[in-house]
Amino acid sequence: MEYFPAPGRNHLFVPGPTNIPEAVLQAMNRNNEDHRSPAFPALSKSVIEDVKQLFRTQTATSFIFPSSGTGAWESTLTNTLSPGDKIIVPCLGQFAVIWINLMKRLNFDVDVIESEWGEGVNLDILLQKLQADRSHAVKAVCVVHNETSTGVTNDLGLVRKSLDEAGHPALLLVDGVSSVGAIDFRMDEWRVDVALTGSQKALSLPTGLGIVCASPKALEACKHVKSTRGYFDWREYLECYKAGTYWPYTPSVQMLYGLRASLDLILKVEGLENIIARHLRLAEATREAVKAWGLTVSAKKPEWDSAVVTGVVVPPWLDSNDVIKIAWKKYNLSLGVGLGKVAGKLFRIGHLGYMNELQLLGALAGVELSLKDVGYPVVLGSGVAAAQGCLSKQTPLIASRL
Amino acid sequence: MEYFPAPGRNHLFVPGPTNIPEAVLQAMNRNNEDHRSPAFPALSKSVIEDVKQLFRTQTATSFIFPSSGTGAWESTLTNTLSPGDKIIVPCLGQFAVIWINLMKRLNFDVDVIESEWGEGVNLDILLQKLQADRSHAVKAVCVVHNETSTGVTNDLGLVRKSLDEAGHPALLLVDGVSSVGAIDFRMDEWRVDVALTGSQKALSLPTGLGIVCASPKALEACKHVKSTRGYFDWREYLECYKAGTYWPYTPSVQMLYGLRASLDLILKVEGLENIIARHLRLAEATREAVKAWGLTVSAKKPEWDSAVVTGVVVPPWLDSNDVIKIAWKKYNLSLGVGLGKVAGKLFRIGHLGYMNELQLLGALAGVELSLKDVGYPVVLGSGVAAAQGCLSKQTPLIASRL
Amino acid sequence: MEYFPAPGRNHLFVPGPTNIPEAVLQAMNRNNEDHRSPAFPALSKSVIEDVKQLFRTQTATSFIFPSSGTGAWESTLTNTLSPGDKIIVPCLGQFAVIWINLMKRLNFDVDVIESEWGEGVNLDILLQKLQADRSHAVKAVCVVHNETSTGVTNDLGLVRKSLDEAGHPALLLVDGVSSVGAIDFRMDEWRVDVALTGSQKALSLPTGLGIVCASPKALEACKHVKSTRGYFDWREYLECYKAGTYWPYTPSVQMLYGLRASLDLILKVEGLENIIARHLRLAEATREAVKAWGLTVSAKKPEWDSAVVTGVVVPPWLDSNDVIKIAWKKYNLSLGVGLGKVAGKLFRIGHLGYMNELQLLGALAGVELSLKDVGYPVVLGSGVAAAQGCLSKQTPLIASRL
Amino acid sequence: MEYFPAPGRNHLFVPGPTNIPEAVLQAMNRNNEDHRSPAFPALSKSVIEDVKQLFRTQTATSFIFPSSGTGAWESTLTNTLSPGDKIIVPCLGQFAVIWINLMKRLNFDVDVIESEWGEGVNLDILLQKLQADRSHAVKAVCVVHNETSTGVTNDLGLVRKSLDEAGHPALLLVDGVSSVGAIDFRMDEWRVDVALTGSQKALSLPTGLGIVCASPKALEACKHVKSTRGYFDWREYLECYKAGTYWPYTPSVQMLYGLRASLDLILKVEGLENIIARHLRLAEATREAVKAWGLTVSAKKPEWDSAVVTGVVVPPWLDSNDVIKIAWKKYNLSLGVGLGKVAGKLFRIGHLGYMNELQLLGALAGVELSLKDVGYPVVLGSGVAAAQGCLSKQTPLIASRL
């Protein structure tokens, strides 16, 4: 049953939830089963292990929570910090705003580094703050790798460098919800202490799994910190890992089989490197289109351009929600709204997950039609042509079809 | 398991099998059931009745065979004709060629009216032949409504007019495989005697149902003709209709639930009139794109333009199969090959079934990229822009989202 | 949408369509694809080859028709016989009756060997007839391997022996619709010339594939016989095999992927030998239950007992349809009706396809409840206990769970 | 892909996760969609409203968390209590043990009323404690409605009566994970302040939704209490309710469509009253079987018998895990293990969710076979017969098939 049916496929171009591959839908199309059967640990172990490859870590321990990404954040914070702990949090956009709200409700002492929306972490201020903190009162730096609301990706290597330069022992906690599995993520190389993601983004699954990787240093913190932990308590999981039962409460059988199928597609079929390259390619094509339309992307410098979502800033006389509405009402195209303080000022094109060149070009064509419908003087085909120019040079043959 | 996996959706633009709506996949995702249970006749009756609305007939009897469209043609011929019967068959393309081969194997005396491929029925010759046949030796005129191999649609009203003008009682038998449910089809108005379609076309189902509508005149013929009939024997079905069991052998439970879902989408959700208009719109946009590319459509006059498939003729120095190959190998785009004597000379863009504007525009963008890859001097974006121009004017708001 | 919904699973115990494994439903849950793509022949070839293992043949050629089993029979007859050819057909039950009707409509000269329903082929008469036919006017012997309407399985080795003993060159054509893949079938050893089955039986798929294996001798006949052939013409398939396109008309993508999954379950996961043993075990348990109820099975001698369906004869004062009705109306249990001349006299318990011990025991418990409801003096639990006694001794550990 | 494949259906008789109806699998078989689209609130609102009917409340506010039932418990406690608050918790079995562990980690002052496992709440002690608490230091009484580990159901009306008798204002917080939707639950009548359930139990969905209903009194408490709340904060939901966006973070599209389908089956198709009666019927039949086997159920008095799960105590010389292992390894039957201190001493038969008589009888037959396999002197068929005797009298005709 659909509430607002429309002919043909929905064109889903929000930066999550993303399009689900048929192989994943097939794997999830199954009855429940007993999660205490001898069969279940085999599946559980395989996904708990393999998911770490997305984070490029060999040293971390992974936890898969039946929750959204927000739950994974709560788990990250409460298992590594005590109430009242000081944490530095760059605020780059709406998701940082949401996290800061969460952090305050969880009783942490949040030191916010404000950036203009569209900019990345202000590394100068970060370094200053870390250097100034001689007593190491700051317990963690909490960074959003890819700020989905503004289409900004931070260079985590530079964040790590700031910590090193300051010789600061604070934990590095990273929201990789919209990056891990799509944007190059090097947990071990960057010595990230905790990184997290959600199933409905690069993994192209339904919402419902919050995935966390914790470094040995984070696990050590977990033993000592004083935050209240119930549902999201790593210690309960670790006991189950030891016992070989894996889950302190009932997991979703379907989501775990879906995760297995998704990991197979990523790690065995397409390959993580190829996936990262595909996201870069689609993102560049999208930005070329935006330029051709005479509009600007919301990331204020190329170094911050996101490979998974592009914010498109509309002229002041235009309400970006009108573009989004007509796209949905006329072309069955779902674009991302401007969130928080950029509501009405930008719309977002998600190019995240299991998606290819022609899907994107169809959506860009739809954006053009929508822009025209709301009165923006776009040249139909201009953005598509620009994106095609970019893709024509970069798109490789499909590996299985050489 | 996929044999040649590729990221993202396959862009399926052959003129059948067509894209299946989620609602149909859902309806078909079920265990087998006993087709002799009291439940099954209710479903059977509902689809046998409602399918007639696609043909716009209130007088015909419908038969749903577990077969492809070819089986439906055999059923049409053997239930209305006797071996040796003379039939007039305009040959417009590959599907007519296939039918003529079939008709000969079934021992009919086939009088072929050749047309150049890309042209419709030669109505002058048809009229001449009918008028010349004073003894009414000709028992049927067999016409393909929409010749899928060349993208040519015939005006069946004019074919009927020829029969009337000649005062000829021959049966009018129509292959509506790629037209019924997508192109306006008026069985009662045009006094078509038998019309047939297949499930994998406008109905957007898997292959597997051959659907036939027979007029009272055709049913009368069925009683007397001498063709050998086994599997496709209408008389066996008619007995089962009388008995309320509906099926002389086991039908596919899944396909019938799928057909029910498809009919609901067509008749209740989108509406047949709106679907016909959508196909006209997408077809016109496609032709505008072809023109912008500097290529020609295979239908030689606008009156024959098909609303469901557009043949695109490539220059002599180009092999159309190369376009199709690169589209599949690089862009996961499935285009229709040139069949029979136009192999290598044209490729086909199917715009049939459950499809919308942005799907088409994505595919047109993919055709452009493919043309460029094979060395055709296409201006990227040119066809998309032309199609957008057309669609921008004609696309209505989605009814459920007004 | 269900027409007569009921809580819990439907208990499907008709001898086809049978219960579909989840792995098959998953494999079929997919969009259409272009059957002319380079991907499709790989799938096609694999199933066309592997399906022969079910028939235990290395010499035959297989054909997979988009049709029910009836179509496979028509294909068998028309590709190996000419109109007017004399054929010997033992009539053992309703399916033989249906085939004889079909054979007559296809203009063969049918010499019926009547058996009482519940008996197998009368081998004495068969031998007499063959020996008497010195001129070899008889072109084929057409046998139902397992007569689904009476639960009778014939020993095809003995049929072959009769032909050999008479030194008769007639073709041996076998309906293996309800046997192949569940009952031991030795095409090459028994020198069967054509054998056929349907997808909705041992293969546990939806209805929709008629599968035929033809010996070299049958293929040779195909070249010379004079029967009219259209849709079911082997020669069209053989040409496509040569061309590597495999299909003379559009096949069902979903059914072929489903067939691939089913063959994997049969050949790779459970193993054909184990499947045959499982069917024997479930059948014996069922017969033990029938005995415990004080009823008789419809097969008149143990040598004819079927491994896939058991006919249960009710006392004359009882209408078997009442048992079936109450089973469906109260227990969501689907039993097979008595067909043709045994309507009302017996009901059938199908134990065919993807089914295990506890499914059967649940159904037997349901039969007992239904028998009680219609007034038959059954001791509740008696049949279940008898069946359990049998299964307790024979059921092996599940191979993957040792 | 299965890890330990076996022929036929898995017989899932754990008390959750339960068997999923086809209609629910169908509804969940869909791509992701934008949860910020105008379509999504319509779905969200409908399930948030209708789920309250399962709790029989017209005054409560419901919250649906992407979590398991454990998360729903955490949400219940932290939104109604402050750290250090005294709560009375009867401990009846393993789930109470788990909750008490959770409550302690959440810093509540837990006053446990121990019962022997197999007994219900000790109402005398409860009353004493409440009466003794003149200062109303006790802020809540936390009761498991149905203790899944021992098959014990408490009479919540009597618990309410104790509170009333003592004139105590403590909140009444109820774990209805395995009861709501299957056992009569009267939130408004019993003045339950918070009740919770999970999707994988009576709702017959995958795991992944924790569902909470909060009374106005509980909502009032939520404003004032001091517990730390992040992911499970009702206040965040309430703000989204006001805004009409419904979700503070991304919900699972598939689970919500599944919930819609499940609610339709429960409320519109079968009817909650009928479902409750079905569970009572299946439970009684199960207990009759246990008696016939010469074993005892774990609930120590009939007044505590659970309608959704039956604990079966094995003799001391037998390890209940051996029964469970052989059931899984040989009969593809999944039984519930004995948890915590009854591990090895009992096994559990879940008869919860979308299940019917014959499914249960098949499972009971399987228990008998397994008991025999492990050396327990069971009379095969004895339990099935006893259960049949009970079901034969009570099973109604299926409403849609009258």
| CB-based contact C270 D368, cutoff 8 Å | no
Domain spanning D11-18+272-401 has what CATH number?
A: 3.90.1150.10
The stretch A20-41 carries a mean pLDDT of 95
The stretch B210-233 carries a mean pLDDT of 98
Question: Residue C361 is encoded by which pair of tokens?
Answer: 């025991």
Residues 95-154 of A with CB under 8 A from B: none
> What pLDDT was estimated at residue A2?
83
CA distance A16 to chain B (A): 15
Among partner residues A3, A356, A385, which is closest to B7 by beta-carbon distance? A356
> What pLDDT was estimated at residue D39?
83
DSSP D231-275: TT-HHHHHHHHHHT---SS---HHHHHHHHHHHIIIIIII-HHHH
For C356, the 3-state DSSP assignment is coil
pLDDT tens, position by position, B152-202: 999 999 999 999 999 999 999 999 999 999 999 999 999 999 999 999 999
A134, A270, A251, A257: which is closest to A202 by C-alpha?
Answer: A270
Measured between alpha carbons, how far is C287 from A393 in angstroms, rounded to an integer? 70
> What pLDDT was estimated at residue A3?
87
Among partner residues C25, C31, C401, which is closest to A29 by beta-carbon distance? C25
Question: Residue B328 is encoded by which pair of tokens?
Answer: 């599949």
CA distance A164 to chain D (A): 31
pTM exceeds 0.90: yes
> What pLDDT was estimated at residue B2?
83
> What pLDDT was estimated at residue A161?
98
Confidence band for B3, pLDDT divided at 50, 70 and 90: confident
pLDDT at C25 over 90: yes
Unique residue bearing structure tokens 């992407």: D66
pLDDT tens, position by position, D361-380: 999 999 999 999 999 999 99
| CATH 3.40.640.10 at C22-267, yes or no | yes
The stretch A284-300 carries a mean pLDDT of 98
Crossing angle of helices D382-394/D357-373, nearest 10°?
170
pLDDT at C1 over 80: no
Crossing angle of helices C320-331/C357-373, nearest 10°?
110
| CB-based contact C14 B34, cutoff 8 Å | yes
Residue in chain C closest to B235 (alpha carbons) equals C105
For C176, the 3-state DSSP assignment is coil
pLDDT tens, position by position, B250-298: 999 999 999 999 999 999 999 999 999 999 999 999 999 999 999 999 9
> What pLDDT was estimated at residue C55?
98
Residue in chain A closest to B388 (alpha carbons) equals A380
C340: Cβ contacts below 8 Å, ≥ 6 apart: C93, C94, C97, C149
Residue in chain A closest to B204 (alpha carbons) equals A8
CA A74, A78, A83, A87 torsion-angle sign: negative
Measured between alpha carbons, how far is A176 from D121 in angstroms, rounded to an integer? 46
CA distance B289 to chain A (A): 11
> What pLDDT was estimated at residue A39?
84
| CB-based contact A208 D18, cutoff 8 Å | no
Same fold, C11-18+271-401 and C22-267: no
Residue in chain B closest to A374 (alpha carbons) equals B392
D241 contact A CB<8A: no
Confidence band for A37, pLDDT divided at 50, 70 and 90: confident
Contact between B88 and B111 under an 8 Å Cβ cutoff? The reply is yes
CA distance C25 to chain D (A): 11
Percent of chain D residues past pLDDT 90, beyond the cut: 98
Confidence band for A38, pLDDT divided at 50, 70 and 90: confident
A5 contact D CB<8A: no
Confidence band for D3, pLDDT divided at 50, 70 and 90: confident
Measured between alpha carbons, how far is C386 from C288 in angstroms, rounded to an integer? 6
B222: Cβ contacts below 8 Å, ≥ 6 apart: B79, B80, B214, B234, B235
Confidence band for D37, pLDDT divided at 50, 70 and 90: confident
Percent of chain B that is helix, strand, coil (3-state, to 5): 45, 15, 40
Question: Residue B360 is encoded by which pair of tokens?
Answer: 């088409």
Confidence band for A52, pLDDT divided at 50, 70 and 90: very high
The stretch C27-52 carries a mean pLDDT of 95
CA distance A369 to chain B (A): 6
| CB-based contact D356 C398, cutoff 8 Å | no
pLDDT tens, position by position, C326-385: 999 999 999 999 999 999 999 999 999 999 999 999 999 999 999 999 999 999 999 999
> Has C348 been labeled as part of a binding site?
yes
The stretch B92-118 carries a mean pLDDT of 96
Q: Right CATH number for C11-18+271-401 from 1.10.565.10, 3.40.1160.10, 3.40.50.300, 3.90.1150.10? A: 3.90.1150.10
Residue A216 main-chain phi, psi, to 5 deg: -55, -40
Contacts of B32 in chain D (CB under 8 A): none
Alpha helices in A209-319 (DSSP H): 216-224, 234-243, 253-263, 272-292
Contact between C366 and C382 under an 8 Å Cβ cutoff? The reply is no
CA distance C351 to chain B (A): 14
pLDDT tens, position by position, C150-199: 999 999 999 999 999 999 999 999 999 999 999 999 999 999 999 999 99
Domain boundaries, chain B: 11-18+272-401, 22-267
Residues 360-389 of D with CB under 8 A from C: 360-363, 365-366, 368-369, 372-373, 379-382, 384-386, 388-389
Neighbours of chain D (3+ CB pairs under 8 A): A, B, C
Measured between alpha carbons, how far is C110 from C129 in angstroms, rounded to an integer? 13
Unique residue bearing structure tokens 């028309």: C78
| CB-based contact D19 C2, cutoff 8 Å | no
Confidence band for B52, pLDDT divided at 50, 70 and 90: very high
Contacts of C2 in chain D (CB under 8 A): 23, 400
| CB-based contact D22 B38, cutoff 8 Å | no
Measured between alpha carbons, how far is D346 from D298 in angstroms, rounded to an integer? 8
pLDDT at B38 over 90: no
> What pLDDT was estimated at residue C3?
87
